[in-house]
Amino acid sequence: MTQILRFETMQFRTLTAWLMANFIGGCIIGYLESNGLQFMATLMLSGAIAGSAQWVVLKCLGYRGRRWSLWPLVSCVGWIAGVMLSLSLSEPIAYIKDGLIQNLGLWNIFGLNVVNRTLWITVMAISQGTILSISMQSRAQVISVWLLASWVGAALHGAIATALCSAYCQVLPPSLMGIIEGGGWAAYGVVTGLALVRFRQQGDEQL
């Protein structure tokens, strides 16, 4: 019974720490975006900031070594590559947008955020999943689960950040605007945090 409680406590702490790291990283990104860097912060710095915050949690959880020190770097490069992927697919995205507007009346900022966030996270997720999968028995499964969790988390990020901005962007001062982006990254952190907990449960000693 005691071992079960300790295990559940470890899972809760892992999820909470991961969620808070993503929330704080998102707040920093949102603050920079609203106080001088504007969209540049989201396009170029999100991966580096979020990845560094995540790396601190991983290090505190005992994940040390050469490959883990690469986490911020692959997050930064992967995010920028994902942004480039999104830009290269601008025409197909525009086609999808027109279809959604005509058939469902959907898109606007909400749809743009959901689709773009999912594309932006793709290369970063594959890179992170590769690090997570090293020494695991089923590397392809780990990468696939992490990619799927990242896609779902990124879609929630886009949806929640858009909803929060619609409700509060007009009333929040610039110094607190980071909370909007932080809320989006927290949603991403919940989904990917559950995946991280699962990996630890499967084989913590392998990581």
The 8-class DSSP code of residue 65 comes to S
Secondary structure (3-state) at 177: coil
**Quick one: pLDDT band at residue 50, thresholds 50, 70, 90?**
very high
Q: Are 47 and 78 in contact (CB under 8 A)?
A: yes
How many CA atoms within 13 Å lie on the side-chain side of 44? Answer: 6
Return the pLDDT at 27: 95
Share above pLDDT 90 across residues of the chain, in percent, rounded to a whole number: 45
Q: Which is more confidently placed, 87 or 205?
A: 87
The 8-class DSSP code of residue 113 comes to H
- Return the number of other C-beta atoms located less than 10 Å from residue 205's C-beta: 6
pTM of the model: 0.86
Mean pLDDT of all residues belonging to the chain: 84
How many CA atoms within 13 Å lie on the side-chain side of 34? Answer: 20
Return the pLDDT at 81: 94
Q: Are 21 and 203 in contact (CB under 8 A)?
A: no
**Quick one: pLDDT band at residue 21, thresholds 50, 70, 90?**
very high
* pLDDT single digits (tens) 113-162: 777 888 889 999 999 999 999 877 788 999 999 999 999 999 999 889 88
Q: Are 207 and 200 in contact (CB under 8 A)?
A: yes
